[in-house]
Structure 1
Amino acid sequence: MRIRIKLIFTIILFCLFELSIAYAQEPIVYSRCKRTTDTFDLTANVTINGQSQTVTRTMTGLDIYDVLPDVTNFFSNFSAPCDLVYRDPNGVETVIFDCSSTSTQSNACAALDAAVSFDGNTIAFSVFRGSLTNYREHIHSQVVHPDADPVDLGYYDFPNKRLATTGAHLHFYNVSTKQIQALPFNTGVYDSGPAFISNQRIAFTSTRDDHTTTVVWGTTESKKGTRIWTVDIDGKNPDLASHHSLSQEQHPFMLRDGRVAYSSWQIFGGLPFRYSNNGAGTHTTIDNLFHIYAQDPDGAENFPIYGQHSGDHTKSYFGADHKAAHFITQTSDDRIWFADYYRQNNKGLGVLVGVMPEPKGQEGKSPHEVTSHADFFVPRDAINFADWTHSDDTSSFTLGWLGAQPISHPNYADPLPFAGKLGHPAALPNNGLMMAWGKGACSVVVNNSVFNELGKQAPPLTSGGGSGVAMNLVTSLEMDTPGCDVGLYRATQIPSQHPGDLEMVVDSKDWHEIMGRAVVPYANIHGVDHPDTIERADVRTSHPSLETGTPFGLLGAASVTDRETDPKDGIHFIGEHQFNLQGTDTIDYTDDELCGVRILGNMPNRNRNVVNEIANIAGERVTILGEFPVLNRHADGSRAIDASGHPDTSFLVRMPANMPYLMQGIDCDGRTLNTDQTWQSLRPGEQKTCNGCHVHS
């Protein structure tokens, strides 16, 4: 792969000395967050050659410490203030919601998460409110002077401003009248991430039911949780639409087929232990366990689209390693795009992945037809938008490593030494794709190989994270180049061959431009006025056991022996993958031993101190809702045979709706043979059936 990349760059050699700019384009809306452009005079008493002296060094590249929203910095602690801006086809901009000129240290805001109605006339967005704080970090003496005796100088306040939030509320901007309607702000409640499901109704994520997240075994934390709600744009008729959500869901987006896709934090049971983190029995990086799920608008039929089973710190067949999947769009060809990145340290930037959705009820490739753990249930048609970027927890690739000439950018005097990272994909008309491109190292965990590629000696403290290392790297380059400057660009080819083939949409040195959306009717992108309509579960279901207004649903399966529950590596109890990557068979057993099904109910955690109240692998309180046999027999006692010629183990059971649940296969003595490891729920009147146990391929 590296040879192929270098050949491409050697041939192209970046004849463009400046990136092209898209002058004629469709109107867009985007958020712009204040970029830290200040220098920082770092003064300290240090000892050099035995002499104590006061040294001042002017640091640059402080924008490398700016924080943009991601799965970790979802509620708070991102750079602010942030304005919401409308940009017309001629590039004329109007500030829809002004935070930058109205914010004070004690009363500040950030306008984020823009979404456009299907008629193109309403823009929904979130406004986060709170106070501004300065970023702080310990400084190492050799950041002040490379010859200083190595000591920790303690905390320094940086000029970077971050928003310590107290809540978020939803707003709606009418493009025609230029009027804004705001839903009420309630301190401590976060309503954010709106997505239109009709011109007059949205899905969004909220903390309003006040649940907290699953407690991962071995940790002592239960964070603020979010679920998907729906509401009319006037604030009426709110409905909790994801009773199965017991941790966090983020940034829903309505797909062409009528489902609502979203990033789902899947940390129940053994899932966080799919691989260890530098120690036997330890969990992986928990905040990276965000995968793409989809559900009907009312919350029925939740199902994984990407990432629930893939990822083993190796790349999938299409060239990307799954970490946290987030920020969703869908282009004219129905391909679903999202960012995939390492949480917290990288500004929500990494790679862009595009997948063609599998048929409903299928997730991707069978684990028994692939050779790599990274390909378990990965969609069969997936694209890595650009192999010149990555999703690792370190600085972006250098163009020297890629074998390419540095890029000349109109905002900077020196060519850019880093290829940068990508995020925030957004569909444009005619199968176009817009994205955020972060120019620079774009990580607070850095690598100093860039010095060697520029023919320079790497100074001390220019690799790693913390202690002022990141700004030391940028300052030591002695170039007019950013630590990370994010702007909006559009693709001129897919996949991208190099950063130079991106076309600038809007990119100012004073701002980070993110979360762009085209302000056009849905038909301009997808050729139809709106996505397919999926009626509520109770409307589209007719069954004698589901009377009008019932608080129950029906759950059924064609067979419990038609299953994909056996672990890829077998039942050995010697590796990390038996019970947490693919398959949850507890022992070796035969189909004849499967006698019944147990339904477990999961109780949402309700306070941050729940870690003092429970101690189990589930991370939640669990109750048995019921058990029932599946060895179906005729009246004479003989075993019934299903249409496939196998013993009939089908079932259909009536159970409470709006209750998170898990299914387990059990033997005739009630012992668990296999188990779910993600939450499900039924909506009132829903009839959910499947072909077998965990048959996702």
Structure 2
Amino acid sequence: MTSPQPTTGIVYTRQPRAVNPVPGSSIMDASSWQHASDVGRINGGIAEADVVLDDLQGNVHVLYNCTTSPDICVAQEARVSPDGRKIAYSVGYASTLVDTYHGRVKLGIKEIPALTHARIFIYDLDSGVSKPVPGYDGRSIDRQPEWLDNNTLVFSSNRGNLFPHKSQFNQHRGRYANGTPRWFGTAYGVSQYYGYRDAGKAMQIWTMKIDGTGAKNLTPHETMALSPTVMTNGDIIYSCWNGHANEAFDSPNRHSNSPGTEANKWWLCQMDGNGAEGGVVLGGHGSPLLKTRDWLDKSITGGEGASALRAVRSVAEIRRDYLAATNYYRANHVGSMGIVYGFNYRGGSVEGISRLNNFEHGIYSSEREGSGKYIPSDFIALTPYGNDADSHEPRRNRSGKVMGKAGYASALPNTDDYMITHGRGLCFEATFVEKANAQYTGGEPLCQKGIYRVKVDQVTDSFDTRQMEQIAGDARWHVYDADAVASYQDLWGQPEPERPRPLTGNACFLQVVDARRAELQPAEPYDWERTLYQQCSAQGCAINTEDKGFHARNMHYLTVFEVEMWDRSYSDGNQEEFANTINNHGFKSLRVQGYQPIEADGSVRMRVPCETPLQIVGQDKDGMTIAHDDKLHSLQKGETRTCHGCHDGHSEERAAQLAASAEERFANTIAARSNRPMPNNGFRTTWEDVKPILLNKCSTCHGDMHDEDGLLDSRIAWDYDQIDWAWAQRQPTLNGSYRLPRPYTSKWVSKLARDSLLYWKCMGSRQDGRTDAQYDNDIDFGPAHKTSATRQECQVIGQWIDQGIQRGYQP
């Protein structure tokens, strides 16, 4: 190490790079498998690393040494304070190291299988001393610190002691005729993607003072939340996981036993510095095709032709109000590496464009509302030379050299230039053994990460030093995730991020200007075989009919569902309870917290519980759901959150029409003059409420509709392959197998009651705003079904469906 210790330059994470051939294999070295934390490897499956301060003049100082110390640890995620004099970083600890494998090939390197705990340290540039933040409990995983001001950190932590949602596989508890289980994999579809121990607990966004006091959870509603960054305006942008409910069922053939890649459902979310005004910035509706290869010279080959949003992480403000974020396919790109995209931040309420034709860099065109999938109009690949897909064919220049990939954008002081981490070579987990050599890479390393200065708006040639040049790292190291050691004043022309006024009071309110107005149009027209899945996988979930007045005519109540997060996992004796807590949203339970009628002008002001996971729902006069947000919310004490409508004003086009803010518009509504108490009308509907209705009102005609084997709810709600009722006509699907795609979990039950045949038959008519004659290939109501069920009993059935076909654990 050189001396004196540097006090300027950059700070980054560094690993000694594996450079030796892998014994007994043709793999040139193990550098593509030196894992760094990403959305697929949050708190486990990651290699040791150090935090390093580098003045870029040859003086390098290790702030925390894990790679050559006796401790088993990983130091990472360093961020500089606004005054430029302190560096916060995390150190995660483990009890053991394990061998790293690629398939069956032992690579000769080791990694941490799971963190036992992690804490935040602060390095003082003036004293040259690192100290841990006081008040640590000794068991939590505290990571990814960022600065709200010189005395306050925002960070990601599992201090809430909760677990993410239960993955959505088929939960039919019966067996096929040959005796094999109807569920997928382990018992009753049990799966928690990030594991069942402490390392798999829900990471959420917290704040605390640098003396360890005042720790507060800003996102009790998030099942996983990572990588907070603080913008100049004080807003906190972070990566939020939304793989629950139907979000992973993202193509026509995605039936209940075939979800997509759940761990790719990472969006960008937003809140202000108080943790209030939360919303979605990017990814909540998927994306249209994103232009990548067409930005490049025709001589460049390989890689994907176009891309789409997958896992979005490592977001940073690189110019004022301009965000850059990495998009990649989970776990396969040696950290947060892929393609860096950029866009102008428009605030928490405006996501992007409704009409695809308003996408500046679109590949296709459409004037249909919803076709733009709310992508920011100026969204662009800043490093299109990279690869963010699960592709085995990398991009190559005209000389045949692999062009690498990019991630971890970060601002530089006094310039529009910015930093990225560039990974030379493949840097691809799924590299075939026979391709892990210099001949295949065109002479490039298998993977070598370094810090580069980007000097142009868009890098199309990673070898062109006029576009970007390396400033840190060499063949001995993987160097990544850099932050400039500079004051906020030098970076942004202000002393620190803006701060919102503190919230006052203890009450929380939701306010809506006009709940009858909505932007809920799916990206493509209704097609039972090809686009049905879009109804609930890319925009929350709504009854989407061709009747544009349906929503406004039927919206009657603002309803709030209260979500109970998982406080236990499948491990430690909880297998039976976990397996038999069954629903189609993935949470431990869900209940109606309360509902309130909208006013004559469509407005509503409703008091709701604070700091509680909530789902916002619009319902009809019978209490059936018309639309709900799949993104969970929570309100901080003293917060009033105001919306234009039901996802109204979220497009750039609609926001321009409205001109005024939701708060300004709400002031002129009827609800603004109301003062209703918090509703006291909550309830929860489960299978135990529905079973006696079906037994008493259905089994008299359908003799096989009994519950002698305890599987009636499975046959009603989870028979996605349509084999339980011999008398029922099977509904054909696109793949010809009769396996119904989500949002249907059976022919009788969809995600919403008003889309469900069971509810239709009880009510005596179709309820989704369509007629049987409109389409010849979707589920029809058919002849009216004679039933003695009362309207109230039908509503109980509908509420059970709308609340997620819940079957509580019955020990």
Report the TM-score when normalising by structure 2: 0.68
Quote the offset at 1:243 in angstroms. Answer: 2.1
1:221, 1:611 within 8 Å by CA — same for their partners in 2? no
Segment drifting more, 527-536 vs 195-204: 527-536
Letter in 2 for 1:134: D
Q: Does the alignment pair 1:681 with 2:634?
A: yes
Relative distance call for 1:36 and 1:64 in structure 2 (3 A) is same
Of the candidates 555, 573, 578, which is equivalent to residue 535 of structure 2? 578
For residue 108 of structure 1, what is the aligned residue in structure 2?
72
Runs (5+) with no aligned partner, structure 1: 1-23, 43-56, 139-154, 407-416, 447-468, 539-547, 633-647
2:270, 2:348 within 8 Å by CA — same for their partners in 1? no
For residue 470 of structure 2, what is the aligned residue in structure 1?
504
Relative distance call for 1:117 and 1:434 in structure 2 (3 A) is same
Alignment of 1:66-77 (within 5 A): 66-77=34-45
Alignment of 1:479-628 (within 5 A): 481-501=444-464, 502-538=468-504, 548=505, 550=506, 552-574=507-529, 575=531, 576-582=533-539, 584-586=541-543, 588=545, 589-609=550-570, 611-620=578-587, 621-628=589-596
Quote the offset at 1:194 in angstroms. Answer: 0.4
Quote the offset at 1:602 in angstroms. Answer: 0.7
Quote the offset at 1:393 in angstroms. Answer: 1.1
Of the candidates 101, 108, 111, which is equivalent to residue 162 of structure 1? 111
Q: Secondary structure at the match of 2:433?
A: helix
Report the RMSD for the aligned CA atoms in angstroms: 2.5
Q: Secondary structure at the match of 2:32?
A: helix
Alignment of 1:138-217 (within 5 A): 138=103, 155-164=104-113, 165-183=115-133, 188-217=139-168
Q: Distance in 2 between matches of 1:123 and 1:374?
A: 44
Quote the offset at 1:567 in angstroms. Answer: 2.8
1:126-157 superposed Cα distances (whole Å, 9 cap, x missing partner): 0011132211244xxxxxxxxxxxxxxxx443
Q: Secondary structure at the match of 2:383?
A: coil
Relative distance call for 1:137 and 1:58 in structure 2 (3 A) is closer
Q: Secondary structure at the match of 2:489?
A: helix
Relative distance call for 1:478 and 1:628 in structure 2 (3 A) is closer
Alignment of 1:17-36 (within 5 A): 27-36=9-18
Letter in 2 for 1:86: L
1:568, 1:582 within 8 Å by CA — same for their partners in 2? no
For residue 437 of structure 1, what is the aligned residue in structure 2?
422
Alignment of 1:287-302 (within 5 A): 287-302=263-278
Q: Distance in 1 between matches of 2:423 and 2:107?
A: 21
Q: Secondary structure at the match of 2:621?
A: coil
Of the candidates 642, 654, 672, which is equivalent to residue 625 of structure 2? 672
Alignment of 1:356-367 (within 5 A): 356-367=344-355
Of the candidates 385, 399, 403, which is equivalent to residue 396 of structure 2? 399
Quote the offset at 1:100 in angstroms. Answer: 2.1
For residue 318 of structure 2, what is the aligned residue in structure 1?
331
For residue 61 of structure 1, what is the aligned residue in structure 2?
29
1:399, 1:405 within 8 Å by CA — same for their partners in 2? yes
1:158-191 superposed Cα distances (whole Å, 9 cap, x missing partner): 2122123222110000011111111366565210
Relative distance call for 1:70 and 1:587 in structure 2 (3 A) is closer
Of the candidates 401, 410, 424, which is equivalent to residue 426 of structure 1? 410
Q: Does the alignment pair 1:94 with 2:88?
A: no
Q: Secondary structure at the match of 2:542?
A: coil
For residue 346 of structure 1, what is the aligned residue in structure 2?
333
1:277, 1:284 within 8 Å by CA — same for their partners in 2? no
Relative distance call for 1:87 and 1:569 in structure 2 (3 A) is same
For residue 613 of structure 2, what is the aligned residue in structure 1?
660
1:38, 1:60 within 8 Å by CA — same for their partners in 2? yes
Alignment of 1:370-409 (within 5 A): 371=365, 375-395=372-392, 397-400=394-397, 404-405=398-399
Q: Distance in 2 between matches of 1:99 and 1:374?
A: 49
Segment drifting more, 558-567 vs 581-590: 581-590
2:79, 2:483 within 8 Å by CA — same for their partners in 1? yes
For residue 234 of structure 1, what is the aligned residue in structure 2?
211
Q: Secondary structure at the match of 1:578?
A: helix
Q: Distance in 1 between matches of 2:254 and 2:536?
A: 19
Quote the offset at 1:562 in angstroms. Answer: 1.1
Q: Distance in 2 between matches of 1:259 and 1:355?
A: 16
1:303, 1:361 within 8 Å by CA — same for their partners in 2? yes
Letter in 1 for 2:610: A
Q: Distance in 1 between matches of 2:373 and 2:591?
A: 31
For residue 636 of structure 1, what is the aligned residue in structure 2?
none
Percent identity for Structure 1 against Structure 2: 23
1:370-396 superposed Cα distances (whole Å, 9 cap, x missing partner): 647884111122221122212111346
Q: Distance in 2 between matches of 1:607 and 1:483?
A: 41
Quote the offset at 1:587 in angstroms. Answer: 5.4
For residue 706 of structure 2, what is the aligned residue in structure 1?
none
Q: Distance in 2 between matches of 1:109 and 1:489?
A: 27
Q: Secondary structure at the match of 2:436?
A: helix
Relative distance call for 1:654 and 1:583 in structure 2 (3 A) is closer
For residue 83 of structure 1, what is the aligned residue in structure 2?
50
Relative distance call for 1:594 and 1:79 in structure 2 (3 A) is same
Letter in 2 for 1:285: T
Relative distance call for 1:686 and 1:369 in structure 2 (3 A) is farther
Higher strand share: 1
Q: Distance in 1 between matches of 2:140 and 2:130?
A: 21
Quote the offset at 1:312 in angstroms. Answer: 5.9
Quote the offset at 1:472 in angstroms. Answer: 4.7
Relative distance call for 1:629 and 1:340 in structure 2 (3 A) is same
Q: Distance in 2 between matches of 1:201 and 1:577?
A: 41
Relative distance call for 1:471 and 1:209 in structure 2 (3 A) is farther
Letter in 2 for 1:173: Y
Q: Secondary structure at the match of 2:331?
A: coil
Count of matched residue pairs: 578
1:450-504 superposed Cα distances (whole Å, 9 cap, x missing partner): xxxxxxxxxxxxxxxxxxx336531664975421111111112121120123211
Of the candidates 214, 217, 220, which is equivalent to residue 243 of structure 1? 220
Quote the offset at 1:313 in angstroms. Answer: 6.6
Of the candidates 224, 232, 237, which is equivalent to residue 261 of structure 1? 237
1:622-676 superposed Cα distances (whole Å, 9 cap, x missing partner): 01111111143xxxxxxxxxxxxxxx01000112111111122111111111111
Letter in 2 for 1:673: I
Letter in 1 for 2:278: N
Q: Distance in 1 between matches of 2:253 and 2:146?
A: 35
Q: Distance in 2 between matches of 1:381 and 1:236?
A: 41
Letter in 2 for 1:653: M
Q: Distance in 2 between matches of 1:199 and 1:561?
A: 44
1:244-303 superposed Cα distances (whole Å, 9 cap, x missing partner): 21x100010001111111000012322222336877873221111111111112221111
Runs (5+) with no aligned partner, structure 2: 1-5, 170-188, 195-200, 296-305, 359-364, 571-576, 652-811
